[in-house]
């Protein structure tokens, strides 16, 4: 078993064709263009190779997106750099995209887990420490969590799992 840690598209582009059996991506595809990932994944996978993905969809983070927008309306200087987040509509749409790039979906499932918190302030550390938004937190100035927490709905917070 070989395990690597690198920016996924860069890493895949440096791999030889037909060189791996399995590619896993857990909550990381939201930070990379899906088409680039799938193109490279197909190229490096051996015949019969598999791609295992866990990814949030657009629906799972809608409350958090609204809270971020409200916080930025209050103080646009909170954003210090921009990061694009790539979220598929649902499992079916991601499966169709996989098929277009020659990767046959074997198992696709839309699923969700609901977490309950006492307040937006209690929810935010969890949100920003999970794969769903951990990288996104680097886009904001120090202290932005306090402003976002004011706008995050108290319950429920839904995260796909």
pLDDT digits (tens, 9 = 90+) for 17-64: 999 999 998 888 888 899 999 999 999 999 999 999 988 888 777 777
Q: Which is it for the CA torsion 61, 64, 68, 73, positive or negative?
A: positive
Indicate if the pLDDT at residue 106 is higher than 70.
yes
- Rounded CA separation 61/44 (Å): 31
Contact 101, 38 (CB under 8 A): yes
Residue 28 to residues 11, 24, 55, 57, 63, Cα–Cα distance (Å): 14, 9, 7, 12, 20
Share the mean pLDDT of the chain. Answer: 83
Indicate if the pLDDT at residue 128 is higher than 50.
yes
CATH superfamily membership of 8-159: Vaccinia Virus protein VP39 (3.40.50.150)
Give the model's confidence band at 131: pLDDT under 50 very low, under 70 low, under 90 confident, else very high.
Answer: low
pLDDT digits (tens, 9 = 90+) for 80-103: 887 788 889 999 999 999 999 999
Indicate if the pLDDT at residue 161 is higher than 80.
no
Residue 47 to residues 24, 35, 108, 126, Cα–Cα distance (Å): 16, 20, 20, 39
Indicate if the pLDDT at residue 74 is higher than 90.
no
Q: What is the pLDDT of residue 157?
A: 44
Residue 96 to residues 33, 101, 102, Cα–Cα distance (Å): 15, 9, 10
Contact 98, 68 (CB under 8 A): no
């Amino acid at each position: 078993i070989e395990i690597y840690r690198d920016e996924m598209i860069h890493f895949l582009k440096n791999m030889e064709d037909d060189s791996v059996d399995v590619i896993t991506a857990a909550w990381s595809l939201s930070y990379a263009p899906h088409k680039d990932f799938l193109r490279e994944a197909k190229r490096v996978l051996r015949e019969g190779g598999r791609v295992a993905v866990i990814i949030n969809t657009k629906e799972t983070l809608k409350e958090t997106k609204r809270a971020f927008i409200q916080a930025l309306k209050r103080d646009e200087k909170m954003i210090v750099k921009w990061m694009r987040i790539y979220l598929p509509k649902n499992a079916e749409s991601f499966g169709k995209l996989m098929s277009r790039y020659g990767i046959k979906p074997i198992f696709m499932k839309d699923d969700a887990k609901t977490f309950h918190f006492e307040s937006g302030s209690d929810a935010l550390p969890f949100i920003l420490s999970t794969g769903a938004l951990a990288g996104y937190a680097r886009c904001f100035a120090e202290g932005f969590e306090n402003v976002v927490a004011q706008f995050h709905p108290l319950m429920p917070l839904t995260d796909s799992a």
